[in-house]
Each structure stands twice: as structure tokens, then as C-alpha cells.
Amino acid sequence: MSHKREQFITKGYCLFNNIINSQMLVELRKVTDKVLSMQDISHFKRQQTTGSMVLIDWEMAYRYNVMAKFISHPKMLGALAELGFNDPKFGHGRIISKPPHSPPLYWHEDGRFWGDPVSYTSQPIQCFLMVYLTDTTPKNGCLRVIPGSHLKRHPLHDQVPSKQNEAIATYANPEDIVFQRAEGVVDLPMKAGDLVIGYATLFHSAHSNQSDQIRTVLTMWYYPDFVNLPEPSQASVADQERAGGFNQIDTVSLQSTTQALMEPLRIAYKGNAAPIQSQWTPGMGLK
């Protein structure tokens, strides 16, 4: 087992340096700034703790070629391959951009497949791939994680709500436990273009942005081992992505080069297994 794969399985995350070069970072900043400028002011008022939560779906990938190149970037896919995942599938992503002098992101984990027995094993169903478009430090809102919380129960599992609510999103109560320093927390400052891959079930948050500059991250959701998941798990993944409208686009008359980049990453399940009902909180199987 490689060192990075061992770290990924035991800690729940792994870092890769210098994945996205400066030229692509410039292009990505242009696109994300443009997309953010198109959002209504109410979007940002609703998302004070995240800053923004703009969907990156397949339509956006086909509209902006740099986004398709980013999603299918050979070094991103190579990092997944280094962890043992040679045929990953892409679901959707988010542009999460914290403005200057904005509050911290709350503690949460994004597992929605806790009804699936696979979620209690080291085989990941869903992972995040995060790339920050600027250097990050605790001052401007770097990522925080709780190593091992993807496979081991943490006090936060029984203290935080399973989904974001308005009070959390708007930072209505700064004393809420979701904003406090947690046991076992590790800061992950990163350089622009670095990549962090983590289990969706890993507890994470971010510091407040106390700087004078915007801090943007692209959080992309992949299913790294989709082809090796049991059929009910595959059915669940396909059902969830379909229900969210994330994986839907008419491929007729699309740019052939973009289609060639994206289509190998498409989620496709054609079996007869019934999807497992989504569950956002872990059961007692998480010890």
C-alpha cells in the first residue's frame, strides 16, 4: 500500500501539491468571478458561513471549457489513481467563495449514504476534491479537518445537525457548537493549485476569512470507486445524482473535444438493483 493511500484510508484525506498550474488558475478565477457576479445578492445573504454555494454541474462544464478541462485534469485523475482509483466518476461541484471579513464555515460531514453498509468501510462511495484558487492560511479561511472521523465516531456526530439550516448558514449564533474549535482538529493551509482529496464523511470546516481578499475554493464531488461498488450502491449514486439534476445534459451537438473529456467520467448504472434510501446521519455502525 502506498504512503498516500494509507494516509487517505486512515486519516480520511490526502494532499497533493502543484496540481493546477498558474495559467489554468487564472482562467478558473475569471470564470468563477463571472459566475459569482451573476448571482443575486440574496444568494450571498443566505450563505454567509460558506460565502457562496454555486452549483457546478455538467451544463456548466460544457459551457465553460476550462471547467471541463479542470474536472478531467490528468493530474487530478492521476492523484485519484495514486490512491488506487483508476476509473472515477464525476457528480457535481460547488464554487464556494468566502468574501473578506466573513465568518467561519461550520463543522459538518457530507455523507448522504449512511444507509449503505459500504459507508462503514474504508471503501469510499463519494469523495471531495478541493482546489483553492488562492493561497490559504488560518487568517483567510483555510480548511480544517478532523482526521479519522470518516471511520470513527466523534462527539460532533451527536452534536451537529445533519444538514445546514438557516441559523447556521447565516451565522445567527456564533456560540453554536458548529463554529467552535473541535477535538482533534488539524488546519490544512494550502497553496493555490494544490489538491486535497477527502472522504465525504470526513468532518471538516474552515476558518473565518479575516483578510481583505476573497477566498475561493472549487469543491468537486467524485465517486472514485464507482465501478467496484456493489450494485445497490451504484444504483443509489445514480439515483441521487439524477434526482439532483446534476448529471443530466443533452449531448447532441455538443463540442466534441469537451465531450471526449467529460464522457468517461459520467455516472451510468443500467442494472436492476433498487437504490438504498439516502440517510444523512450515521447509524450505530459507526463506533
Backbone CA torsion sign across 250, 253, 257, 263: positive
Whole-prediction pTM value? 0.95
Q: Confirm if 262 and 62 have CB atoms less than 8 A apart.
A: yes
Where residue 192 falls among pLDDT bands split at 50, 70, 90? very high
pLDDT tens, 205-257? 999 999 999 999 999 999 999 999 999 999 999 999 987 666 666 554 456 78
Q: Over 60: is that where the pLDDT of 285 sits?
A: yes
| CA distance linking residue 206 with residue 137, whole number of Å | 10
> Percentage of residues in the chain with pLDDT exceeding 90?
91
The pLDDT value given to residue 244: 67
| CA distance linking residue 124 with residue 247, whole number of Å | 20
Cell readout for 200 is: 465525504
**Mean pLDDT in the chain?**
95
Name residues whose C-beta falls within 8 Å of residue 134's C-beta, 6 or more positions apart in sequence.
Answer: 140, 192, 213, 214, 215, 216
pLDDT tens, 16-30? 999 999 999 999 999
The pLDDT value given to residue 154: 98
Cell readout for 79 is: 492523484
The pLDDT value given to residue 85: 98
The pLDDT value given to residue 140: 98
Task: Give one word for 148, left, alpha or beta, with left for phi > 0 and alpha for psi -120 to 50.
Answer: left
Average the pLDDT over 171-193 and give the result: 97
Q: Over 90: is that where the pLDDT of 67 sits?
A: yes
Q: State phi, psi for 256 to the nearest 5 degrees.
A: -65, -35
Using DSSP, state whether 97 is helix, strand or coil. strand
Using DSSP, state whether 70 is helix, strand or coil. helix
Point out which residues pair with 105 in neighbouring strands.
206
pLDDT tens, 86-133? 999 999 999 999 999 999 999 999 999 999 999 999 999 999 999 999
| CA distance linking residue 103 with residue 219, whole number of Å | 19
* Window from 184-198, 211-225, 251-265 with minimum mean pLDDT: 251-265
Domains defined along the chain, listed by start: 3-265 (2.60.120.620)
Q: Over 80: is that where the pLDDT of 60 sits?
A: yes
| CA distance linking residue 157 with residue 227, whole number of Å | 29
Using DSSP, state whether 55 is helix, strand or coil. strand
